[in-house]
C-alpha cells in the first residue's frame, strides 16, 4: 500500500509540467494538449483519495472530468479549425485580432 | 534489491497459470493468424472453384511458414522523408493493442490472463480501441498521399463502428447483468439460452460492426488494392508489414471471441442444460480421430518424402489429442478434473470462433465493396440509431419478462419485430434522404470539398 | 512490493512522457507522448483498483480525444516543425514560477503531518480486500446519488457535439 504522498507528488508533477506547457508553447494545439495533461493530474489525485477513503465519489468526479475534457477538446479544436481556416496560423502570438 | 527479487518470485508463484496463458497467447496467436490466412485462401479458392495454395507442404499446409520466412528475410525499407520514430512505433502499437486485448478473453473456463477482472469484456473492447492509432500514425509516418488518405479513412471507419459495436454489446450486457467474462457464460448457462436468441438484432449489429472494425470486406475500402495501392500499409515491407497483417487477423480473433462469449454461449456445448444431449460431448474426440485417420490414409499417397513425414506427424498429433480428450472424460482425475472442462470448453469455443470467422470470409468473397460515403452513412445513419433502439428494446423485454411476468420468448419476439420495423423505417428514410441529397448536388453543380469523398 | 514496483513504473513513464510532450517541436510527436502519458495514467488508475476508470480513460481519453487531436493536427497540417522565437527570458520566468509553485505545494503536503487535526495525509487507508466490486460501486453512486450531474453531463456532451460540428463546418452559403 503506497503512502498517499506519492500519488500527490505525481499529480503535482504532472500538473506543473502541464502548466509549463500551457504557458511556454506557442502552438495552440500543444497548449490544448497540456490542458488535457493538467486534467489528468487532477484525476490521479481524485482517484488516489477515493481509494484511500473507500468512497466512490472521487471516481465519479474523475469520470465527469473525463467527459468534460472530451467536450472541451472537441469545442476547442473546432474553434482552432475555424480560426485556422481564416488566418492560416496556429501560433498564439499571431492571434492578436483584439489587440489595440 | 533482494526484496525486489523476492517480490517478483512471489508474484510468479501466485500467478503462474496466468503468465503461462499469456506466454501461450503471444506465441500461438501469430501462428494461428498465419493459418487463418491459409484457411481464408483455401475458402476463397473453394468459392471461386479452384484449389488455392497446394505447392508448399501437403495441400499448402506449410504456406504460412513459407510466407513468414519470406517476410522475415525481406529488405526493410524506410522511406526517405518518413518520420523514423513513428514509422517504427505504429505497427508495434497495432500489434500490442491486438495482443493485449486478448488478455481478458477467456478461451475456456480456466484459460484467461486477466482472471476475474471486474470489467471483463469492456477491457477487450477498450484496448482494441487503441488499434486505430497504429493505423493513423503509420499512414502519416509514411509521408505518402495514398497512405494518409487510407489511414484517415480507415480510422474514421473504425471509430464510427466502435460506437455501434459498443451499443450492440450493451444489449448483451443488459441480459447478462455483468461484465465479467466467466459470469457472462455462466449467465447464459443459467438462462438456458444463448443470448443470440434473446437479442438477435444485437448480435447481427455486432457482426456487421465487427466486420467494419477489422477492415474486412465489404468494408475494406481503406486497404483496397485497386483504390489506394494498399492504404496505410503501402510503405511498409517485410516484417513491419507482417506486424500490421498479424494485428488485423489477431483483431479478427478478438472480435470473434467477444461475439462468441457474449452471444453464442462462450465455451458451452450446444444444449448444455439438456442431459440427454450429453452425447454431443464425444464430438471433439470423433472429429479429431477422423482427421487423424484421414491423414494416415493420405500419408502413403504423398509425392515427396517430407510430405509423407509431415502427414504422419499431423496424424499422430491429432490422434494423441483425441486420446487426451477421450481419456479426460471417463477418468476425471481429481487434480486434472479442471482440465476436463477446460479442454472441452476450449474446443467448443474455438469451434464457434471458427464459424464466426468463416462467416467473415464468406461475406468477403460474396459482397462487393462499399464506397466510403456509403460506409459512413450506413454506420452513422442506420446502424447507430438501430443499435440504440435495440438497447431500448432489450431493456423493455427484460422489464416485461422480469417485472410483468411475460413469457420470455413472446417478449423477445415482440421487441425484435419492433426493432426491425424501426430499422426498416431508418433505411427507407435514409434512401429518401440520399436521393434528395444527390438530386440537390446534381442541380447545384458546386459541391463543398469533402475530405472523405471517394 | 509489487504494488510499488507497478506504481514507480507507470509514474516514471508518465512524468518522462509529459516532459517530452511539452518540449517536442513536432506536434505529432507531442501527441504520441501525450498518448503514452495518458496510458500510464490509466495504469495508475488500475493500480489504485479503479478498473472502470482505467478502461474509461483508455476508451474515452486515448481512443477518443487523442484520435481527435491527431486528426486535427493532420488535417490542418500543423505537423511542420515551427521555428521557436519565443524569447528565452520569458520562457525561463514562466518555468521558474511554475517550479516555485510546485515547491510550495510539496512543502505544504510534507508539513501537514505537523499540523494537528488537519488530516491532509491519510494515515490508515481503506483495506483493499474490503473494496466493493468497482463497476457496481461506481454504478450505484452514478445512478443513485449523482444522477443529476450525470444527466447534466450528457446534455453538456450533446451541446459540445453540436457546437463543434457547427464551428468546424465549412460555410458553403454566402454570409
Question: Taking the model in full, what pTM does it have?
Answer: 0.89
What is the pLDDT, as a whole number, of residue B27?
A: 92
Q: How far is CA A29 from CA A84, C32, C121, in A?
A: 11, 13, 36
Task: Give the model confidence (pLDDT) of B79-93 as tens digits.
Answer: 887 788 889 889 999
Per residue in C128-146, pLDDT (tens digit) is: 777 788 888 899 999 999 9
Q: Name the 3-class secondary structure at A27.
A: strand
Whether omega for the bond prior to residue B218 falls within 30 degrees of 0, making it cis, is yes
Task: Name which of B3, B85, B127 is nearest C58 (Cβ-Cβ).
Answer: B127
Distances (CA, A) of B437 to B374, B443, C170: 13, 10, 17
Mean pLDDT for B196-208 is: 93
Identify whether the C-beta of residue C76 lies closer than 8 Å to the C-beta of residue A81: yes
Q: How far apart are CA B361 and CA B46, in angstroms?
A: 11
**What whole-number distance in Å separates Cα of residue C145 and Cα of residue C133?**
18
Q: Give the Cα separation of B32 and A17 in Å (integer).
A: 44
Chain-chain contact of C75 with B130 (C-beta, under 8 angstroms): no
> Which of B94, B92, B91, B82 lies closest to B141 in space, CA to CA?
B82
Average pLDDT score, chain B: 85
What is the rounded distance in angstroms from the CA atom of residue B174 to the CA atom of residue B188? 12
Nearest to B133 by CA among A34, A78, C68, A71: C68
- Chain B residues 173-202 with a CB less than 8 Å from chain C: 179
> Does residue C125 carry a pLDDT above 80?
no
C89-122 per-position pLDDT tens digit? 778 888 898 899 999 988 888 777 655 555 556 6
Cβ atoms B110, C47 nearer than 8 A? no
Nearest chain C Cα distance for residue A37, angstroms: 8
* C 125-164 → B contacts, CB under 8 A: 133-135
Task: Please state, in angstroms and rounded to a whole number, the distance separating the CA atoms of residues B30 and B236.
Answer: 18
C-beta of residue B265 within 8 angstroms of C-beta of residue B190: no
Please give the Cα distance from B237 to B239 (Å, whole number). 6
Phi, psi of B45 (to 5 degrees): -65, -40
Give the C-alpha separation, B299 to B160, whole Å.
50
pLDDT band with cut points at 50, 70 and 90 for residue B316 = confident
Residue A3 has pLDDT above 70, yes or no: yes
Q: Among the residues of C50-146, which ranges form H helices?
A: 51-56, 66-75, 88-111, 134-143
Q: Which three cell numbers stand for residue B302?
A: 504423398
A25–chain C Cβ distance below 8 A for any pair: yes
**Mutation target among A6, A14, A93 for the C interface, most CBs of C within 10 A:** A14
| Residue C20: predicted pLDDT | 94
**CA-based nearest distance A97→chain C, Å:** 19
Which has more confidence, A32 or C93? A32
Which of A18, A22, A25 to mutate against chain C (most C CBs within 10 Å)?
A25
Test A56 with C45 for CB contact under 8 angstroms. no
Q: Which ipTM score applies to this complex?
A: 0.91
Question: What is the per-residue DSSP string for B17-49?
Answer: HHHHHHHHHHHHHHHHHHHHHHHHHHHHHHHTT
Number of Cβ atoms within 10 Å of the Cβ of A91: 15
pLDDT in tens, B93-146: 999 999 999 988 888 887 888 888 889 899 999 999 998 888 899 888 888 877
Return the partners of chain B (3 or more C-beta pairs < 8 Å): C
Physical contact, B and A (3 or more Cβ pairs within 8 A):
no
Q: Which residues pair with A91 in a beta bridge?
A: A27
Choose among B101, A49, B13, B117: nearest CA to C1. B13
Nearest CA in chain A to C20: A17
Query: Residue A91, SS3?
Result: strand
Amino acid at each position: 500500500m503506497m503512502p498517499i504522498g506519492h500519488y500527490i507528488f505525481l499529480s503535482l508533477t504532472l500538473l506543473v509540467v502541464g502548466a509549463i506547457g500551457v504557458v511556454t508553447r506557442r502552438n495552440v494545439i500543444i497548449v490544448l494538449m497540456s490542458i488535457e495533461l493538467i486534467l489528468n493530474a487532477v484525476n490521479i489525485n481524485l482517484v488516489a483519495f477515493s481509494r484511500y477513503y473507500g468512497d466512490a465519489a472521487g471516481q465519479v468526479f474523475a469520470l465527469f472530468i473525463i467527459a468534460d475534457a472530451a467536450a472541451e477538446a472537441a469545442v476547442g479544436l473546432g474553434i482552432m479549425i475555424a480560426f485556422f481556416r481564416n488566418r492560416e496560423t496556429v501560433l498564439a502570438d499571431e492571434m492578436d485580432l483584439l489587440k489595440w | 534489491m533482494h526484496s525486489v527479487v523476492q517480490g517478483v518470485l512471489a508474484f510468479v508463484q501466485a500467478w503462474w497459470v496466468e503468465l503461462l496463458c499469456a506466454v501461450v497467447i503471444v506465441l500461438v496467436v501469430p501462428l494461428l493468424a498465419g493459418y487463418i490466412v491459409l484457411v481464408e485462401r483455401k475458402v476463397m479458392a473453394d468459392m471461386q472453384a479452384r484449389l488455392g495454395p497446394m505447392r508448399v507442404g501437403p495441400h499448402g499446409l506449410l504456406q504460412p511458414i513459407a510466407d513468414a520466412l519470406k517476410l522475415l528475410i525481406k529488405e526493410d525499407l524506410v522511406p526517405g522523408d518518413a518520420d523514423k520514430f513513428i514509422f517504427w512505433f505504429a505497427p508495434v502499437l497495432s500489434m500490442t493493442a491486438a495482443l493485449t486485448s486478448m488478455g481478458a478473453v477467456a478461451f475456456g473456463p480456466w484459460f484467461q490472463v486477466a482472471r476475474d477482472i471486474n470489467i471483463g469484456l469492456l477491457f477487450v473492447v477498450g484496448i482494441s480501441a487503441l488499434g486505430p492509432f497504429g493505423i493513423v500514425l503509420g499512414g502519416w509516418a509514411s509521408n505518402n498521399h495514398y497512405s494518409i488518405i487510407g489511414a484517415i479513412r480507415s480510422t474514421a471507419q473504425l471509430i464510427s463502428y466502435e460506437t455501434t459495436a459498443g451499443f450492440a454489446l450493451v444489449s448483451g450486457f443488459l441480459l447478462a447483468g455483468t461484465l465479467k467474462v466467466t459470469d457472462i457464460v455462466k449467465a447464459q448457462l443459467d438462462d438456458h439460452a444463448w443470448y443470440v436468441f434473446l437479442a438477435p438484432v444485437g448480435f447481427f449489429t455486432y457482426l456487421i460492426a465487427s466486420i467494419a472494425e477489422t477492415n474486412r470486406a465489404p468494408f475494406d475500402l481503406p486497404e483496397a488494392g485497386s483504390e489506394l495501392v494498399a492504404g496505410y500499409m503501402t510503405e511498409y515491407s517485410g516484417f513491419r508489414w507482417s506486424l500490421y497483417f498479424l494485428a488485423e487477423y489477431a483483431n479478427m480473433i478478438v472480435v470473434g471471441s467477444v461475439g462468441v462469449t457474449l452471444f453464442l454461449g462462450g465455451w458451452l456445448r450446444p444444449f448444455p442444460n439438456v442431459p440427454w444431449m450429453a452425447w454431443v460431448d464425444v464430438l471433439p474426440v470423433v472429429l479429431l480421430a477422423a482427421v487423424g485417420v484421414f491423414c494416415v490414409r493420405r500419408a502413403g499417397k504423398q509425392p515427396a518424402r517430407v510430405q509423407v513425414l509431415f502427414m504422419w506427424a499431423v496424424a499422430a498429433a491429432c490422434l494423441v489429442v483425441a486420446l487426451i480428450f477421450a481419456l479426460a472424460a471417463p477418468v476425471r482425475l481429481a487434480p486434472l478434473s479442471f482440465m476436463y472442462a477446460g479442454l472441452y470448453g476450449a474446443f467448443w469455443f474455438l469451434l464457434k470462433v471458427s464459424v464466426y470467422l468463416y462467416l467473415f470470409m464468406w461475406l468477403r468473397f460474396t459482397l462487393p465493396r462499399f464506397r466510403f460515403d456509403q460506409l459512413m452513412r450506413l454506420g452513422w445513419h442506420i446502424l447507430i440509431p438501430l443499435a440504440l433502439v435495440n438497447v431500448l428494446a432489450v431493456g423493455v423485454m427484460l422489464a416485461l419478462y422480469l417485472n410483468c411476468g411475460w413469457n420470455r420468448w413472446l417478449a423477445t419476439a415482440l421487441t425484435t419485430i419492433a426493432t426491425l420495423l424501426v430499422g426498416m423505417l431508418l433505411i427507407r428514410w435514409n434512401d429518401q434522404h440520399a436521393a434528395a441529397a444527390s438530386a440537390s448536388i446534381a442541380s447545384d453543380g458546386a459541391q463543398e470539398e469533402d475530405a472523405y469523398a471517394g | 512490493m509489487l504494488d510499488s514496483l507497478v506504481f514507480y513504473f507507470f509514474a516514471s513513464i508518465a512524468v518522462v512522457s509529459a516532459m517530452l510532450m511539452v518540449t517536442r517541436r513536432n506536434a505529432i510527436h507531442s501527441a504520441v507522448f501525450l498518448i503514452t502519458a495518458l496510458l500510464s495514467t490509466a495504469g495508475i488508475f488500475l493500480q489504485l483498483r479503479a478498473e472502470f476508470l482505467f478502461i474509461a480513460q483508455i476508451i474515452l481519453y486515448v481512443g477518443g480525444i487523442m484520435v481527435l487531436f491527431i486528426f486535427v493536427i493532420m488535417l490542418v497540417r500543423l505537423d511542420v516543425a515551427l521555428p521557436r522565437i519565443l524569447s528565452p527570458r520569458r520562457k525561463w520566468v514562466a518555468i521558474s514560477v511554475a517550479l516555485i509553485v510546485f515547491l510550495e505545494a510539496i512543502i505544504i503536503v510534507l508539513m501537514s503531518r505537523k499540523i494537528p487535526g488537519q488530516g491532509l495525509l491519510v494515515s490508515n487507508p481503506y483495506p483493499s480486500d474490503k473494496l466493493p466490486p468497482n463497476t457496481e460501486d461506481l454504478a450505484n453512486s452514478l445512478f443513485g446519488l449523482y444522477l443529476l450531474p450525470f444527466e447534466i453531463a450528457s446534455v453538456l456532451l450533446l451541446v459540445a457535439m453540436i457546437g463543434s460540428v457547427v464551428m468546424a463546418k465549412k460555410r458553403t452559403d454566402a454570409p
